[in-house]
């Protein structure tokens, strides 16, 4: 077979990397076309995940490199502006640009495939993809089914198209492609075997399962989107997995900037599948119902505040994981929507277990709040507010929505949060045993008024 690899522009690479070496761990700049969270641009010092596998990405976007006997394999890259950082990270662990033989990816969005064109030029490596993603890579993310032309990136040509279940072998390491259609129709997850502490471990790089503001019913561009999501959930659940890593590490409760090796967490795969299926099911059901005749049909939800054993701190989630989050940057308690087949108490227990990994042993209903017009699109919400006074287990450090942080109760007012929350939070933690019941209308994302009663 003729050698189709491209010439490697080492002189250009040297010039490109010299300025970066002076400030290798500085936050990467924003793109001019769109902005992303700082954590997506904050480099992390490269570290080993397993004997051959290294993490070389940023705090909020994964990039991995696997050292094989015949060269290196790069998995994902992050944002378009990350290419110089990645090349320097590789050199810092002994991988020259010419050592990179293969580039794999998860899905063809700018926050993961952004630098692949630059990396392909710099290394001459083979880019492997599937037919669905290859078309989007070649368009540089334009005409995306969900985002249109909003998040474009430098186009890149796939050199090799893989089939579902196909294995690519390099230097004694076999990388298996798994088609996991969900976040995009061409989403790819990858598995390979490495060694850690003298034992073989299965590493699963599982692609995203989220559906941020996607149209799930009667989507003319993607008529079978719900069926594909279900298939993707099942595929991810079936991945061989001792170590779980995702394109957004926070999506699997992991912050590479705060702690090193990801723990073996096969249970997280099952939890992600349950959460994802539930969200897609709820959104599809809501879209199918259409408008209601009832004047007030709120979304019923729970909101829980977990107290530390000394009751001086409360566990809050800092919503910083998703740029499309309606509550980006704010601090919240834990909770979410009630499932059709559960009561409010069961819903609260489930949400805290899913979001924080702990089990509620004692909790108290402190009140209810009605939020007409609170939702991103003006939806009405009705929340049942709980305090958890005793729990079992160790809370996650991150979840799908952001960082979990213990905050002193008397410092809550210093945090960025919904302005309306400041009105009822004092009653959540006061000594009055009576529950409160409040109404807080919202308009255009701002609180309009507040009133409540206690009995």
Residue 109 annotated in active site: yes
For residue 128, which of 162, 98, 154 has the smallest C-alpha distance?
A: 162
From the candidates 214, 229, 331, 442, which is the catalytic residue?
Answer: 214
Give the burial string for 275-306 (b: 16+ CB within 10 Å, else e): bbbebbbbbbeeeeeeeeeeeeeebebbbbbb
From the candidates 89, 105, 146, 183, which is the catalytic residue?
Answer: 183
* Rounded Cα gap, residues 406 and 316, in angstroms: 6
From the candidates 112, 146, 178, 318, which is the catalytic residue?
Answer: 112
From the candidates 55, 89, 105, 111, which is the catalytic residue?
Answer: 111
From the candidates 107, 146, 178, 318, which is the catalytic residue?
Answer: 107
Classify residue 34 by burial, with Cβ atoms within 10 Å: 0-12, 13-18, 19+.
middle
User: What are the DSSP calls for 199-232, one per residue?
Assistant: EEEEEEEPPP---TT---SS-TT-TTHHHHHHHH
From the candidates 248, 318, 421, 442, which is the catalytic residue?
Answer: 248
Q: What is the largest CA-CA distance in the chain?
A: 82
Give the burial string for 401-427 (b: 16+ CB within 10 Å, else e): bbbbbebebeebeeeebbebbebbbeb
* Rounded Cα gap, residues 442 and 434, in angstroms: 25
227 Cβ contact list (under 8 Å, min separation 6): none
From the candidates 55, 76, 89, 109, which is the catalytic residue?
Answer: 109
For residue 263, which of 357, 165, 177 has the smallest C-alpha distance?
A: 357
Residue 248 annotated in active site: yes
Residue 183 annotated in active site: yes
Residue 4 annotated in active site: no
Residue 353 annotated in active site: no
| Residues identified as active-site | 107, 109, 111-112, 183, 214, 248
């Amino acid at each position: 077979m003729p050698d189709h690899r491209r010439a490697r522009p080492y002189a250009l690479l040297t010039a490109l990397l010299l300025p970066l070496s002076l400030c290798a761990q500085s936050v990467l700049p924003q793109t001019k076309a769109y902005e992303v969270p700082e954590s997506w641009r904050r480099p992390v010092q490269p570290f080993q995940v397993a004997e051959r596998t290294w993490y070389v990405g940023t705090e909020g976007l994964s990039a991995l490199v696997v050292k094989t006997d015949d060269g290196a394999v790069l998995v994902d890259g992050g944002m378009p502006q990350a290419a110089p950082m990645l090349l320097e990270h590789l050199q810092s662990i002994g991988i020259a640009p010419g050592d990179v033989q293969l580039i794999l990816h998860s899905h063809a969005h700018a926050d993961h495939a952004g630098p692949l064109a630059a990396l392909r030029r710099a290394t001459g490596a083979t880019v492997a993809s599937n037919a669905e993603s290859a078309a989007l890579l070649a368009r540089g993310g334009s005409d995306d089914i969900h985002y249109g032309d909003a998040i474009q990136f430098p186009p890149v040509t796939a050199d090799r198209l893989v089939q579902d279940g196909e294995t690519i072998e390099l230097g004694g390491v076999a990388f298996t492609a798994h088609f996991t259609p969900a976040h995009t129709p061409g989403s790819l997850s990858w598995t390979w075997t490495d060694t850690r502490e003298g034992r073989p471990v299965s590493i699963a790089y599982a692609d995203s399962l989220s559906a941020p503001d996607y149209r799930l019913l009667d989507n003319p561009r993607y008529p079978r989107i719900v069926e594909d999501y279900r298939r993707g959930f099942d595929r991810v659940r079936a991945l061989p997995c001792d170590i779980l890593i995702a394109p957004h590490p926070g999506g699997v409760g992991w912050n590479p900037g705060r702690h090193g090796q990801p723990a073996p967490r096969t249970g997280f795969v099952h939890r992600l599948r349950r959460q994802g299926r539930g969200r897609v099911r709820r959104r599809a059901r809501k879209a199918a119902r259409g408008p209601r005749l009832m004047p007030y049909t709120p979304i019923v939800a729970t909101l829980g505040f977990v107290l530390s054993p000394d009751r001086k701190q409360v566990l809050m989630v800092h919503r910083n994981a998703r740029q499309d989050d309606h509550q980006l940057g704010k601090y919240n308690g834990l909770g979410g929507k009630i499932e059709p087949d559960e009561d409010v108490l069961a819903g609260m227990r489930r949400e805290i277990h899913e979001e924080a990994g702990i089990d509620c042993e004692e909790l108290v209903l402190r009140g209810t709040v009605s939020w007409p017009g609170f939702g991103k699109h003006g939806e009405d919400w009705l929340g049942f507010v709980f305090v958890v006074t005793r729990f079992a287990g160790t809370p996650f450090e991150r979840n799908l929505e952001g960082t979990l942080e213990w905050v002193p109760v008397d410092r809550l007012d210093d945090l960025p949060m919904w302005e309306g929350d400041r009105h009822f939070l004092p009653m959540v933690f006061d000594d009055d045993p009576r529950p409160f019941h409040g109404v807080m209308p919202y308009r255009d994302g701002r609180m309009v008024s507040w009133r409540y009663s206690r009995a």
